[in-house]
Amino acid sequence: MEKGSAVIKFIHPVEPSEAKGLVADVYAQIKRDFGRVAEPFMMHSPSPNLLAGAWMACRETELVGTVPRATKEAVAATVSQLNRCQYCVDAHTIMLSATGEGKAAKAIAKADYAEIPDQKMFDAVKWTLATNSPKSEDLEQPPFTPQEAPEVIGTAVFYHYINRMATVLLGGTPLPSSQGWLKAPLKGMASHMFSEAVHRPKNIGDSLQFLPEANLPGDLHWAQTNPNLAAAYARFAAAVEKAGESALPVAARRFVKEEISEWDGKASELNLAWSEETISKFDEATQAAARLALLTALAPNEVDAEIIAAFSKHFPGDDKLVAALAWASLTAARKIGTWLQPPKLRGVAQAPAGSLESSTESAASVQRKQQPLRS
């Protein structure tokens, strides 16, 4: 039995040794291609279709494609720093180190971004730090080409999703200990463990078998120039929407969508307090659902055992809780995706020399050192 499910809160995930059917099939591919059936995947297991959707969105965006895996792991780790998801920061700096980028991994783990040795990776990280700021100039000058955009944007969107899920359901770190003096050796061991899977060749599209075809929603238009990635995200979005319909009342979903449509990327205590006035007008069950979904989307750190218990009183079952969290998390992440693709990146183009795909630079510029970037 693989260890680690003890850090998952509020639900009882399917252990790899007990998996059957679709869950077993997805777990087998995760172990082969990711290296381990990690908790961020396991926490979806009460809903097999959500597990399959989350895995394919991750795999077909982050694990395969033309953009270097190291760049995408840097994006994943940086989004996690931005969202203060320590579990995911640890997990993806481990994976980044497994790609051979140990110095960059240490820099991102410390949020000391000026120490990233590779200029192209630094530029990608700088762009990533702006993904919660729709009016940022850094989003208007992305460091990737139209061909690369779906992979980079897709990775950022996925981790804005998974960070919210992890903040609610996971413990503070994937490591056996959170003691500072133990972290470095433990992360080194974990990086070595994942290294083989990171470098193992993978076939594009292998995960698409797990869910039926679906139409790509308009707010995921940034994916459309990469058919494989678009197919993965379309299936994922369809699975999440169906799960959300089963777990959240129509009024709760409509309310949360309206709130997110006005969201500017930052949690606001004032706005959430204002939202509470509207929530209080719903019946008790819809109140509990709306409160859980809104907090998960905009302030996941505010979701506690009381919020979970209030929801589960009216909507019992691990599958319902995971579905509600997934719907809220992806609704927020999809909103973020709408401001990550500027007009000049619409359309198809070949990756020119100097793109992320062809990056081989290894030294940070003097100018960058003089103006360190921090979150």
Find the catalytic residue in 43, 58, 88, 108. Answer: 88
Task: Identify the bridge partners of residue 170 per DSSP, sorted by sequence position.
Answer: 8
Please, is 134 exposed, middle or buried when counting C-beta atoms within 10 Å of its C-beta (0-12, 13-18, 19+)? Answer: middle
Dist CA 356 CA 360 (whole Å): 9
Give first-to-last CA distance, the chain, whole Å.
Answer: 38
Using an 8 Å Cβ cutoff, are 88 and 162 in contact? yes
Q: Cα(210)–Cα(30) distance, rounded to whole angstroms?
A: 12
| Catalytic site includes residue 88 | yes
Please give the Cα distance from 93 to 265 (Å, whole number): 24
CA–CA gap between residue 199 and residue 69 (Å, rounded): 9
Question: Alpha helix (H) ranges present in the chain?
Answer: 21-33, 39-42, 48-58, 69-82, 86-98, 102-109, 119-128, 137-140, 149-169, 180-199, 227-247, 250-261, 269-279, 284-298, 305-314, 318-338, 366-370
Catalytic residue numbers read 88
